[in-house]
Amino acid sequence: MARKPRLFAPGVLYHVIVRGNQRQRTFLSPADYQKYLEKLTQYRRQHEVTIYAYCLMPNHVHLLLECAKTPLGKFMQGLQQSYTQYYNRRYKKGGHLFQGRYKAILCQKDAYLLELVRYIHLNPIRSKLAKSPQDYRYTSDPAYRIGKATAILDPRPVLKLLGGTRGYKKFIHEGHDGGHREEYYEVADQRFLGDKEFGEELTRNYQDEEPRKRRGLAIVAKELAAVLKIDIEQLRAPSRGWKLSHLRTMIAYVLVRRGGYAVKEVAGYFARDATTISSTLSRYQGTVDKQAEVRRQLEQLTQIV
């Protein structure tokens, strides 16, 4: 079944699950976990995202959050790509670290906020990485036990619903024997966790998160070329000079990796072979990982798509 487009619904609860590409480990040392949390803090502030809970596992991440004005995809793009660049530089790797499509479930807040906070905090226990939440360092559970805000989240709104830290600890303890909850993943219309009316209301009142894909590729490519101060028609010409090839690759990279346009579509626009474009972008990832100036330029171009 085709995947449904994501909806941008400000103030709605999202349960986000991000997995390592081909289930590979995404955190190899304590420094890696810490770096991801630093990035999470940075992009949460930048995009005014409210985090309710998080759990960093060796090969996947759970986030429970709300977005304000910025679509979820924009926040996740910055967070995931920034951490991937760090990881690839640190371990001299290249290419994708995370699966290309993370799962983002829109959840009915009144019904599922507390349950999902508990479910996420108990993830290390279900995976037998710890005997209790206190024994696992990379979740938001400690903030809830102390009852004080951190740079990432403020636990007090949820604690108020549970009767404070004592009520939270009791609530968590009561869930210790719970196993994997498949209903939190296999959701209505592939997107919604809640009653039928919840999903219908969101579908009726909110539009797809990614309207940028409705803009013609030619229009976006021309805008990108203008930022680079080059005529787009020069990049579409047969010339294979180094400078033109570099700028063409940069624009193709932004269109495919940051804008979500298909490799085949981009290759057709530039009158190139799709296989050649695909392999060129894979090699270019190494340049992106190594050169800070290239990353700066890409971030500027990404604002357009």
Structural domain includes residue 6: no
Do 197 and 241 lie in one domain? The reply is no
Structural domain includes residue 109: yes
The pTM score is 0.68
Beta bridge partners of 14: 65, 106
**What span, in angstroms and rounded, lies between the C-alpha atoms of 191 and 184?**
11
Do 191 and 258 lie in one domain? The reply is no
Mean pLDDT of the chain: 86
CA-CA distances (angstroms) from residue 231 to 78, 236, 294? Answer: 28, 9, 20
- Name the percent of the chain lying above pLDDT 70: 86
Final residue of a structural domain among 149, 172, 205: 205
DSSP letter, residue 98 = B
The CATH number given to whatever domain includes residue 291 is: 1.10.1750.10
Structural domain includes residue 127: yes
For residue 99, the enclosing domain spans 13-205
Do 48 and 142 lie in one domain? The reply is yes
Number of domains forming the structure of the chain: 2
Q: Which residue has the tokens 């990404």?
A: 302
Q: What's the mean pLDDT in 83-93? A: 92
The least confident of 61-65, 140-144, 285-289 is 285-289
Higher pLDDT, 176 or 44: 44
Do 122 and 264 lie in one domain? The reply is no
Q: What stretches of 60-108 show up as alpha helix (H) in DSSP? A: 72-91
pLDDT at 60: 96
Do 105 and 150 lie in one domain? The reply is yes
Do 199 and 228 lie in one domain? The reply is no
Final residue of a structural domain among 151, 175, 205: 205
Do 143 and 170 lie in one domain? The reply is yes
Do 178 and 252 lie in one domain? The reply is no
Structural domain includes residue 179: yes
Do 161 and 43 lie in one domain? The reply is yes
Do 178 and 128 lie in one domain? The reply is yes
Structural domain includes residue 65: yes
Higher pLDDT, 155 or 111: 155
The CATH number given to whatever domain includes residue 173 is: 3.30.70.1290
DSSP letter, residue 2 = P
SS3 assignment, position 137: coil
Do 247 and 141 lie in one domain? The reply is no
pLDDT at 284: 85
SS3 assignment, position 12: coil
The least confident of 38-52, 109-123, 148-162, 289-303 is 289-303
Structural domain includes residue 8: no
Sign of CA dihedral 220, 260, 54, 61: negative
pLDDT reading at 206 higher than 80: no
Q: What's the mean pLDDT in 296-300? A: 83
Q: What's the mean pLDDT in 46-68? A: 95
Final residue of a structural domain among 205, 228, 262: 205
> Token pair of 118, please?
């508990």
pLDDT tens column, 129-153: 999 999 999 999 999 999 999 999 9
